[in-house]
Amino acid sequence: MAEPARQLDVIDARPAFTQADADALNARFDGVDALTMLKTVFAEGLAGKVAVVSSFGTESAVLLDLVARADTSVPVIFVDTLKMFAETLNYRDTLISRMGFINSRSVTPDADVLAKKDETGLRWSYDPDGCCDIRKVEPMNRAKQGLDAWISGRKAFQSTTRQNMPRFEVEDGRLKINPLGDWTKDDLEAYFAEHDLPRHPLEAQGYLSVGCEPCTSKVLPGEDPRAGRWRGWDKVECGIHSPVTPIPVPSVDPEDPANQPVF
C-alpha cells in the first residue's frame, strides 16, 4: 500500500493586508458614512481580527460610540503608560460602561524594562521619545500581536502631520482604519451634542488633547489642538502613529545603460 504523500509544513509569512487591499477598501467606502462603513467592515469580516485602540482623550467618545453602535463585541485596547491623568482612567471606565463594550483591556509597560530604562520615572523630562517608546510603543506592539487590523481615532485636522489621511492604510502588514480621518472639529462637536456623550473632565480646563500627565499642557487660543502635547520639544507624535506612504514603483528605462546587462 502506497504511503500518503508527504505534506510540508508551510508558514505563511505574507502580510494580512497590502496597499492594494487598502486602496480597494478606500474606493469601496468613498463617500460612505463612518457608521455604515464600520457596520459593513465588521459584518463582512473585511478587517479580519480587529480591535479599536483608544486613548480615552477629549475626542475619543465619538469613535467609541460609533464602534459600539456597530458591534459592542469589538475589543477595545487602552495603553496605560502609568503616567495617565486620574481623570482619564475614570473617563475610560465611564465610557466602557455606558457604551456596553464586552471586551476591553489595558496594556501597561514591561516592569523589567521600566526598571532598567526609567528607574526614576523621570525619563519623560529629558528623553520624551525614549519614554514614549517604552511606555506606549512597546506595549502597543504587544497588544497588536495577533490582530489583522486596528481602528484609530486620528483626524486630519488635529495637526499638519495628519493631513491627507486615508480611511484605510497599511502599517507593518496590518490594516489601519481611520473612520474619522476626514471629520472636522465641528463634525465632532455636533456628534457629541446629538448623542449627549460625556466629555473628558479636563477639556473644560483647556486640555484639548490629553496624553500622559507630565507631557500634557493646556492649549492657548489659536494654537493647534495638539500644541499642548510635549510642549517645548520638537515632537508631535508618541510613535504609535507613524506616517504611512506606499513605496513607489520605480519606472525602468530599458535604454538606460544602468539597466543593461553587464555581460
The predicted pLDDT at position 22 comes to 95
Q: pLDDT band for 235, please (50, 70, 90 cuts).
A: low
Query: Is 238 a known active-site residue?
Result: yes
Q: To 10 degrees, what angle do helices 86-99 and 60-70 make?
A: 20
Write the CB contacts of 97 (distance below 8 Å, at least 6 apart in sequence). Answer: none
What residues have CB less than 8 Å from 177, skipping those under 6 apart?
41, 47, 50, 149, 150, 151, 152, 167, 168
Place 10 in a pLDDT band, splitting at 50, 70 and 90.
very low
Tell me which of 132, 212, 215, 238 is the catalytic residue: 238
C-alpha span between 153 and 109 (Å, rounded): 22
Residues 159-183: tens digit of each pLDDT = 444 456 899 999 889 999 999 988 9
User: What was the pLDDT predicted at 142?
Assistant: 94
Is the distance from CB of 175 to CB of 47 less than 8 angstroms?
A: yes
Q: How confident is the model at residue 224 (pLDDT cuts 50, 70, 90)?
A: confident
What is the reported pLDDT for 165? 83
Separation CA 166–CA 28 (nearest Å): 13
The whole-number pLDDT of residue 18 equals 94
Distance CA 191, CA 61 (A): 10
Give the span between the Cα atoms of 263 and 252, in whole angstroms.
19
Query: What is the residue-averaged pLDDT of the chain?
Result: 85
pLDDT at 67: 98
Rounded Cα–Cα distance for residues 101 and 96 (Å): 6
Half-sphere exposure of residue 245: CA atoms within 13 angstroms, side-chain side = 8
